[in-house]
Structure 1
């Protein structure tokens, strides 16, 4: 089956090709570096399946264009699906499949890496030594042992993150509308309400999906409830955080450290090379100007293990649809309660 694969880089092609060759009935994959949106949708004319990633746009207009061209299946090679208008997809008869899990360890470990870099100023230390400067001024950190970690979202990734931090000897507070017994089973971990987590945590790490109730979960009101000098980590979705509110919190000293692998306006920035251009996003430029902020470009998932799992599941999802089998990873419009 012909599959139009958008937002691809060399590593996407490598792992998808490997998974496709291993499939019993390989598909005809055609790769496009451009992102999917209403303007680029005509590239998929005649393709029964379109495969997209986190910063592609699958709004109503784009989906309508795809459906009119013969597309029947949208295969997401990611867990999040906030970029897809599910209601429009249902009306158009489009099936949506995703990769619900790939390597939760990859994302959890990256969150820990951001904590260590911010706390021990590893980025500054590395650059300083490269310049033959061996002084320690400005590199003072703190022991993670006995610190309190707030985990917002305790699914697979959040729970694995908590297990790692438990290994450092940290106290663990969790908040989730759907409590996880595996998180509760970690020694010393307990669930609390959000205000208590915000007030008691030295480090807060976000591991929840982006839905209407979590949009700008970190905002001026929730920041005001945090401990002075708190460390904020987000490896989940950029729009969980009100960036302007975080900037104000940094300025006042309420927020002492920020580690981000995602950004709420990342769609036109991440996965692109702007090293020879002037970035027009003033908010992003201001954010990365602070010395207590570390930003990575949505790379938390980026391990060999995760890319292998993503590719295998994506190809399997496409094959299941082609063969008329049950779609175990289908995404549907939530049923109203």
Structure 2
């Protein structure tokens, strides 16, 4: 099957080629993201393979179908960048990677939490300049603190398990409670308990119309003063302007982001030789109690291997006309 692979970085090519050795698809790689300007590149391909910041809205999907594309294969878990209703109307199937390595994302969230709490990023920069002073680097023990896990799926449960290992009290919030989460020794929060009790809030839920800006001016005002916020899920969960105001007032004690609302124009690119025009992002990184990484929480050897293997199997299922194990449909 002929597949157009968009947003293809060197590591995508390496791992997809390795996984494709067992499947035999014709992979055509494009550095550019899929959008209205690049969709013509997919003409004549049976499928497109896209990532988190590629755009598969109704206009793009219509252009894809005119070019003969019948499948959108996401090499990620989230599918908020695909218009599923339009895909269904056009007869385009959509598949994703349901499960790759929840450990990779959860461990990165913990790493970011430790770094922002103990000011590792600031200490690193200081010692490189031979400054070994400790002023401004004080953190707090995680032991005995209350951690709120928003989204208790596989990643959220791994994160919760790690935090329980630190001796934290772990509260959860999820529209669909998980017995496995409670079996770890965590419990689901009562109404308003997260805001009043949580010293740390970590986001692990998908981006949906319901969860868009779940962290906003109102929820931040209810939060415990000085709480730390970690987001390794999707940028749209957080109202960035509201978070900036909470940082300025001290209501929010620290912020660790691996995702960002407007990341599509910035992340996965080397912009070190340019001036970034995103004023909001520039304000964020100017705070001493903010850490931003470029959507790398998933980026481990194990996770990339599984993502690519699953993506190629999804393509083969479609080509073989068998039921699609990881199909995503409009609700």
Checking the alignment, whether the CA contact within 8 Å between 1:148 and 1:171 is kept in structure 2 is: yes
Map residues 236-247 of structure 1 onto 2, 5 A cutoff: 236-247=233-244
Q: Which residue of structure 1 lines up, in the alignment, with residue 81 of structure 2?
A: 83
The residue correspondences of 1:257-276 to structure 2 (distance < 5 A) are 257-276=254-273
Deviation string 1:103-129 (CA, Å, 9 cap, x unpaired) is 000000000000110011111111211
Give the one of 287, 304, 308 matched to 1:307.
Answer: 304
- Number of residue pairs matched? 331
Q: Which runs of 5+ in 2 are unaligned?
A: none
What's 1:164 paired with? 162
In the alignment, is the contact (CA less than 8 A) between 1:198 and 1:204 conserved in 2? no
Q: Within the alignment, does 1:250 sit opposite 2:244 as a pair? A: no
Secondary structure at the counterpart of residue 204 of structure 1: strand
2:209 matched to 1:212?
A: yes
Report if the CA contact (8 A) 1:111-1:235 is conserved.
yes
Cα distance 1:264–1:194, how it changes in 2: closer, same or farther (>3 A)?
Answer: farther
SS at match of 1:22: coil
Task: Give the Cα–Cα distance (whole angstroms) in 1 for the partners of residues 200 and 96 of structure 2.
Answer: 31
How far apart are the structure 2 equivalents of 1:212 and 1:94?
22
For normalisation by structure 2, the TM-score amounts to 0.99
- Residue pair 2:122, 2:288 contacting (<8 A) in 1 also: no
The alignment status of 1:59 with 2:57, answered yes or no, reads yes
1:312-323 maps to which residues of 2 (within 5 A)?
Answer: 312-323=309-320
Q: Which residue of 2 aligns with 1:71?
A: 69
Indicate the residue corresponding to 1:102 in structure 2: 100
CA–CA separation in structure 1 for the residues paired with 2:208 and 2:62: 23
1:286-297 matched pairs, under 5 angstroms: 286-297=283-294
1:200 corresponds to 2:197: yes
Rounded to whole Å, the distance in 2 between the matches of 1:202 and 1:191 is 16
In 1, Cα distance between equivalents of 2:32 and 2:192: 42
Alpha-carbon distance in structure 1 between the residues aligned to 2:103 and 2:123: 26
Q: Which of 141, 144, 149 lines up with 2:142 in the alignment?
A: 144
Change (3 A) 1:35 1:194: farther
- Tell me which stretches of 4 or more aligned residues in structure 1 moved more than 6 Å: none
8 Å contact kept, 1:270–1:298:
yes
TM-score by length of 1: 0.97
Q: Quick one: distance in 2 between partners of 1:204 and 1:256?
A: 11
Per the alignment, residue 116 of structure 2 pairs with 118
Q: Deviations over 1:74-124 (max 9, x none)?
A: 100000000000111111110000001100000000000001100111111
State the partner residue of 2:14: 14
Say if 1:175 and 1:194, in contact at 8 Å, map to a contact too.
no
Task: Find the aligned partners of 1:180 and 1:208 in 2 and give their Cα distance.
Answer: 13
- Unaligned 5+ runs, structure 1: none
Report the Cα offset of residue 138 of structure 1: 1.3
Could you say if the C-alpha distance between residues 258 and 11 of structure 1 is closer, same or farther in structure 2, counting changes exceeding 3 Å? same
Question: Does the 8 Å contact 2:198/2:224 carry over to 1?
Answer: yes
Q: Describe the SS at the equivalent of 1:197.
A: helix
1:194, distance to aligned residue in structure 2 (A): 5.1
